Chains A and B, each alone.
Chain A
Amino acid sequence: MRILFPDGHEEEIPARGRTIEAVLLGIGMNPAELLISRGETIIPEDTIGIDEDTIHLIRISHGG
């Protein structure tokens, strides 16, 4: 699964049948601080990750 991070960098991380939430926790990201989009669509974090997918992480907090 290709993950586009809020800072712009990308990583390929195997989903291994896990939810996106579990994938994120596995790489030290806190899903409670993020929203997840697949294409133009927002999806819940308990969606099962698919290796062919690209997901985009949107940080909810912003120093504005």
Chain B
Amino acid sequence: MGDDQILCSLCRQPAVWRDRETGSHLCSLHLKESVENRVAEMICTAGPLPDRVGVAFSGGKDSTALLAAMTATQDHTGIRLIALTVDEGIGGYREETIRHAAQVCSILGVEHRIISFPDLFGYSLDEILQQQESRACTVCGILRRRALEILAEEEGIRLLATGHNQDDHAQTALMNAFSADLKKVCAGTGPSLRYARRIKPFARVSEREVTLYAILAGLFTRLPECPYAGGALRNEVRSLLNRFEQQFPGSMRNAAACEAEIRSRLREKSSGKGLVPCRICGWPGTGEICQVCTLLGAGWARSGGDRPRDR
């Protein structure tokens, strides 16, 4: 060991990363710097920045890396951060990841707020899924998104950063192509006074780099897998894209860029279409009845959806 060591192309320190497209190598310091530069650039080009930005923080690897990178770039971006966590209520899984989330916030010195499905919707995800486990990711996605929006609104957050990385965007591009559902491409981009605007600072950072960043920041922990994550289409698409990336380096980046381009062009065309309040809960959406009310029925809104919580 030692003679075979590959060195950083910039400083000749031991390399931890190979750029598969250029063949260059980076050490720990320069890899972190490269990720942080892209994060800061994405944040600073996102339009006017409020003083305080929310970070959607599950406590998993991606959002942990995001929180660490955004903390590291605070001198440059000048924003204060608050980590927003949704506890979906998944027994035997979420307890540990929520604990990890709290620890990470404590280490990074970031304010932390948690909202739970039972508090908001009256039921845990486990209870909601009793009759429809096969739709777990769809159901969870709809409810988690609403929970985050409500938590952001409660905290007065107008800009919310999420941990979606370049691979996520590439996967979404392919999944949208498979489903040929153009509405999905622009989902969540409509203007609303109630939504916090969303940014994705990792949009140009690969999942491998995100994982490596979390490891190098000393914040990577092997956490349990979500028990509902098993058979999602996304896993198949991820595997397919990774095979392409291995064989044709740059495929993932190109697919992600394609998704951004399509989204941008479609947004231009649909920019005149505003959101309308849901007839049941009043939350802005694209249809008469929002997805949450379609899923849970009218009861949740009357019993808790519009009830101020005492957190």
Chain A residues close to B by CB (< 8 Å)? 25, 30-33, 35, 38, 41-48, 50, 52-53, 58, 60-64
The number of A-B residue pairs with CB atoms under 8 Å apart is 77
> Interface readout for B29-58 with A: 1 if CB under 8 Å, 0 if not?
000000000000000000000000000001
Q: Which residue of B lies closest to A34 (CB)?
A: B208
Check if B6 sits within 8 Å of A64, measured CB to CB: no
Check if B60 sits within 8 Å of A42, measured CB to CB: no
Cα–Cα, bound, A62→B234 (Å): 12
28 A-B residue pairs with CB within 8 Å: A30-B239, A31-B246, A32-B243, A33-B239, A33-B242, A35-B208, A35-B211, A35-B215, A42-B16, A42-B17, A43-B15, A43-B16, A44-B6, A44-B17, A45-B18, A46-B18, A47-B4, A47-B5, A48-B4, A50-B1, A50-B4, A60-B207, A60-B210, A61-B207, A61-B235, A62-B60, A62-B225, A64-B97
Min C-beta distance of A6 to chain B, whole Å: 9
Q: How large is the interface on B (under 10, 10 to 19, 20 to 34, 35 or more residues)?
A: 35 or more
> Interface readout for B216-235 with A: 1 if CB under 8 Å, 0 if not?
10000001011001101001
Closest 3 pairs (CB-CB, A-B):
A63-B229, A64-B60, A44-B18
Min C-beta distance of B198 to chain A, whole Å: 19
Check if A62 sits within 8 Å of B61, measured CB to CB: yes
**Residues of B close to A46: CB separation below 8 A:** 6, 18
Instruction: Verify if B212 is at the interface (C-beta below 8 Å from A).
Output: yes
Cα–Cα, bound, A48→B1 (Å): 10
Instruction: Verify if B119 is at the interface (C-beta below 8 Å from A).
Output: no
Cα–Cα, bound, A46→B301 (Å): 55
Instruction: Verify if B285 is at the interface (C-beta below 8 Å from A).
Output: no
**Residues of A close to B158: CB separation below 8 A:** none
Q: Given contacts A30-B243, A33-B242, A63-B230, are A42 and B212 in contact (CB under 8 A)?
A: yes
Check if B1 sits within 8 Å of A53, measured CB to CB: yes
Instruction: Verify if B245 is at the interface (C-beta below 8 Å from A).
Output: yes
**Residues of A close to B229: CB separation below 8 A:** 63-64
Cα–Cα, bound, A45→B19 (Å): 10
Instruction: Verify if B164 is at the interface (C-beta below 8 Å from A).
Output: no
Cα–Cα, bound, A64→B229 (Å): 7
Instruction: Verify if B169 is at the interface (C-beta below 8 Å from A).
Output: no
Q: Which of B4, B17, B225 contacts A64 (CB 8 A)?
A: B225
Instruction: Verify if B144 is at the interface (C-beta below 8 Å from A).
Output: no
Cα–Cα, bound, A58→B207 (Å): 12
Q: Which residue of A lies closest to B212 (CB)?
A: A35
Cα–Cα, bound, A43→B25 (Å): 10
Beta-carbon contacts under 8 Å, B222-260 to A: 223, 225-226, 229-230, 232, 235, 238-239, 242-243, 245-246
Q: Which of A32, A41, A62 contacts B208 (CB 8 A)?
A: A32
**Residues of B close to A62: CB separation below 8 A:** 60-61, 223, 225
